[in-house]
């Protein structure tokens, strides 16, 4: 993992997977700038407080960032217990808008890493729908598309993680060819983070118990962070458009 001297942006840097990724990257010699709606409780090299649910707030945050960075890790997100509209705004539309605004600042050879989820694994069932949403360029166009194609509250988290995986795949090659910037997804399974309880509530006891029999245990945030960090570094320079499960083998049990 070669990240020494790189400047890396991390959304959701103040807790969970984001905080562990920030600690690891700083330990490896990177300069880490956090973006979060909460105040930091760990050492960072820079911090921007921002709500990533609106284009105006995102644009204001981007204006405070360095002119050039080497990687962007989109880790911030809200659970499916939040209103479906907010889940779409933060986990998909806002993430997409932030990435598009930061892209001109990412140095050639740089990297974008989006944290998806094992719950996005059913994207092939709705691939045409997700590709249509991906083609709705810009935050407002995407929001308009979603108003015309409402997402049920019960499945909103899964839906937008599917959409993120599809958007990352269809957009990645264009950016790699034109800008030399790679984009990949990491798909964790259940992870011991502050919002794990929200996922238990969201999925229900029956689904949680069924999955529990398929896995050794939930993951730890410091088991997800090294894969994100690797995708930021030079060792992964020929990896683009991938979605990498980091779930202790849980996804494989559904084959």
- 58-81 pLDDT, tens digit per residue, is 999 999 999 999 999 999 999 999
Q: Which residues are catalytic, by number?
A: 157
Q: What is the pLDDT averaged over residues 216-233? A: 96
Give residue 64's pLDDT. Answer: 98
Q: What percent of the chain has pLDDT over 70?
A: 96
Q: Write b or e for each residue in 235-248: b if 16 or more Cβ atoms lie within 10 A of its Cβ, otherwise e.
A: ebeeebbebbbbbb
Give residue 46's pLDDT. Answer: 98
Give residue 255's pLDDT. Answer: 82
DSSP designation for 81: T
Domain boundaries, the chain: 7-241
> Using CA atoms, how far apart are residues 142 and 92, in angstroms rounded to an integer?
9
Give the mean pLDDT of the chain: 95
Exposed (0-12), middle (13-18) or buried (19+): which is 156, by Cβ within 10 Å?
Answer: buried
> Using CA atoms, how far apart are residues 71 and 179, in angstroms rounded to an integer?
13
**What tens digit of pLDDT does each residue of 200-216 get?**
777 676 776 777 788 88
Residue 102 above 90 pLDDT?
yes
Yes or no: domain 7-241 corresponds to CATH 3.60.40.10: no
Q: What is the pLDDT averaged over residues 108-128? A: 97
Q: What is the pLDDT averaged over residues 217-226? A: 95
Lowest mean pLDDT among 91-100, 159-168, 205-214: 205-214
pTM of the predicted protein model: 0.94
Confidence class for position 196, pLDDT limits 50, 70, 90: low
């Amino acid at each position: 993992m070669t990240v020494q001297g790189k400047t890396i942006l991390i959304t959701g840097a103040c807790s969970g997977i984001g905080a562990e990724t920030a600690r690891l990257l700083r330990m490896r010699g990177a300069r880490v700038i956090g973006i979060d709606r909460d105040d930091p409780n760990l050492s960072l090299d820079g911090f921007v407080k921002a709500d990533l649910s609106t284009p105006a707030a995102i644009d204001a945050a981007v204006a405070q960032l360095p002119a050039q960075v080497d990687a962007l890790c989109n880790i911030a997100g809200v659970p499916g217990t939040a209103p479906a509209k907010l889940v779409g705004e933060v986990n998909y539309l806002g993430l997409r808008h932030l990435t598009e605004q930061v892209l001109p600042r990412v140095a050639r050879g740089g990297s974008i890493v989006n944290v998806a989820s094992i719950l996005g694994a059913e994207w092939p069932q709705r691939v045409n729908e997700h590709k249509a949403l991906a083609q709705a360029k810009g935050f407002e166009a995407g929001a308009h598309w979603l108003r015309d194609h409402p997402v049920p509250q019960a499945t909103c988290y899964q839906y937008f993680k599917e959409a993120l995986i599809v958007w990352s795949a269809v957009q990645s090659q264009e950016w790699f060819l034109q800008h030399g910037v790679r984009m990949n997804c990491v798909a964790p399974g259940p992870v011991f983070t502050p919002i794990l309880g929200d996922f238990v509530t969201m999925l229900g006891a029956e689904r949680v118990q069924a999955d529990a029999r398929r896995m050794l245990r939930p993951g730890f945030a410091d088991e997800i962070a090294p894969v994100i960090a690797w995708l930021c570094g030079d060792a992964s320079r020929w990896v683009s458009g991938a979605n990498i499960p980091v779930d202790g083998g849980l996804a494989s049990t559904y084959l």
